[in-house]
Amino acid sequence: MSLLQVEGATKRFGGLVAVDGASLDVAEGSITGLIGPNGAGKTTLFTLIAGFERLTAGRVTFQGADVTAHEAHVRARAGIARTFQIVQPFASLTVCENVAVGAYLRHRSRADAMAHAERVARQVGLGPMLDQPAGSLTVAGRKRLELARALATDPRLLLLDEVLAGLNPSEIRDMIPVIRAIRDGGVTILIVEHVMQAVMSLCERIFVLAQGRVIATGTPAEIARDPAVVEAYLGHGAAARLQARSAGHA
């Protein structure tokens, strides 16, 4: 069953068409990938799904309801949350207080919001840093904080925008089980990511966006050998490595 359906999404900024008739669907309980070259329109599509920008044309359906005309805060309350590529925490507030910003969506009292924020922070591995100023976190810590702040809104759909960007291989390996555990806890995930090994490991299904259009969809193995994807994004070397990796896991 599809939790999210995007049909013919188009976004124009003056003469620029950033997203051009893109359609995708995300099955409930899945981790679905959205990949493509820089400038393909991936973040713009996330912005349209989350309601931060209005569609020029097309439709967004969430939990069977048309939310195309809904503002971002209405979609957040319905259960759509997103992270941002550029992490901007409230540097002087503690880690727990930063996470509580998200928790206030459903927990009105400070005590309840802080208690929920602490639980979520521990879930993503920030337990030892709860009382630290957010400004003191490493890049990896800030990525976890951004994840926790979105997760604290108790979403049904979590849009992860390059949550692994800027991390070293060890930090990426540590984050993959955190993302899986969030899905296993009942949150459906749509992830934009350039770290292809992680995408291939995490996702059951992948959509490929190029020049604002969806050019392919399929399993990781199908995407790795799709000629259009190899040409537009992966390149032959990366595609061969991913195919070998897929064969090794088969």
pLDDT confidence tier of residue 196, bands split at 50, 70 and 90: confident
Asked whether residue 135 falls in the same domain as residue 22, the answer is no
pLDDT of residue 12: 96
CATH code at position 202: 3.40.50.300
- In this predicted model, what pLDDT tens digit does every residue of 212-244 receive, in sequence order? 999 999 999 898 888 888 887 767 666 566 666
Please give the average per-residue pLDDT across 35-40, as a whole number: 92
Distance CA 38, CA 58 (A): 23
Asked whether residue 56 falls in the same domain as residue 169, the answer is yes
What residues have CB less than 8 Å from 43, skipping those under 6 apart? Answer: 85, 161, 192
- pLDDT at residue 168 greater than cutoff 70: yes
Please give the average per-residue pLDDT across 71-93, as a whole number: 95
Asked whether residue 161 falls in the same domain as residue 146, the answer is no
Supply the mean pLDDT for the chain.
93
- pLDDT at residue 247 greater than cutoff 90: no
CA angle 70, 161, 232 (to 5 degrees): 110
Give pTM, 2 decimals.
0.91
Asked whether residue 124 falls in the same domain as residue 243, the answer is no
Asked whether residue 171 falls in the same domain as residue 239, the answer is yes
Distance CA 78, CA 81 (A): 9
- pLDDT at residue 108 greater than cutoff 80: yes
Total domain count, the chain: 2
Domain membership flag for residue 84:
no
Domain membership flag for residue 194:
yes
Query: Which element (helix H / strand E) includes 176?
Result: helix 169-184
Which of 138, 154, 170 marks a domain boundary? 154
Distance CA 155, CA 161 (A): 15
Domain membership flag for residue 55:
yes
Please give the average per-residue pLDDT across 171-179, as a whole number: 96
Determine the structural domain holding residue 108 and report its residue range. 89-154
Pairing of the two strands 2-13 and 65-66:
unpaired
